[in-house]
């Protein structure tokens, strides 16, 4: 079945450490997105990519980095510059056609050790 796979499901970060969250999709979608979800808040956009080798900052990009070397993959690195990384991270994808819904993976929960 087609879908979006995020790994790991749970991740722990030590002080000063960079960690990378994986997102893979087999839906043949051009566009991919990373969101952060905190309790009581809506999803906030971190980075997005409409095509391979191109990506744009979202609303809360500081302390994060991404790459888009393959259509299927859009990994997110949470750097040590992100001072409050504890959150639920969600990856999504859709086609580039206007008005198409985004489809989500099941998330990675990141916590500080």
Partner 1 sequence: EDQVTQSPEALRLQEGESSSLNCSYTVSGLRGLFWYRQDPGKGPEFLFTLYSAGEEKEKERLKATLTKKESFLHITAPKPEDSATYLCAVQSAKEYGNKLVFGAGTILRVKS
Please tell me whether residue 84 adopts helix, strand or coil conformation: coil
| 101 touching partner 1, by CB under 8 A | yes
| 48 touching partner 1, by CB under 8 A | yes
Binder of partner 1 out of 7, 18, 20, 50 (CB under 8 A): 50
- How many amino acids of this chain bind partner 1 (CB under 8 A)? 29
**Do residues 27 and 2 touch, judged by C-beta distance below 8 A?**
yes
- Binding to partner 1 (CB under 8 A) within 12-31 occurs at 31
Separation between Cα atoms, residue 43 and residue 45, nearest integer Å: 7
Separation between Cα atoms, residue 13 and residue 112, nearest integer Å: 5
- Give the x-and-dash track for 51-70 against partner 1 (CB under 8 A): -----x-x------------
């Amino acid at each position: 079945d087609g879908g979006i796979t995020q790994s790991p499901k749970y991740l722990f970060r030590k002080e000063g450490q960079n960690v990378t969250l994986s997102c893979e999709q087999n839906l043949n979608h051009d566009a991919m997105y990373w969101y952060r979800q905190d309790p009581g808040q809506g999803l906030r956009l971190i980075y997005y990519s409409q095509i391979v080798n191109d990506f744009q900052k979202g609303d809360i990009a500081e302390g994060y980095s991404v790459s888009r070397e393959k259509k299927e993959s859009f990994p997110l690195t949470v750097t040590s510059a992100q001072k409050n990384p504890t959150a639920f991270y969600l990856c999504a994808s859709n086609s580039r056609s206007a008005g198409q819904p985004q489809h989500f993976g099941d998330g990675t929960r990141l916590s500080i050790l």
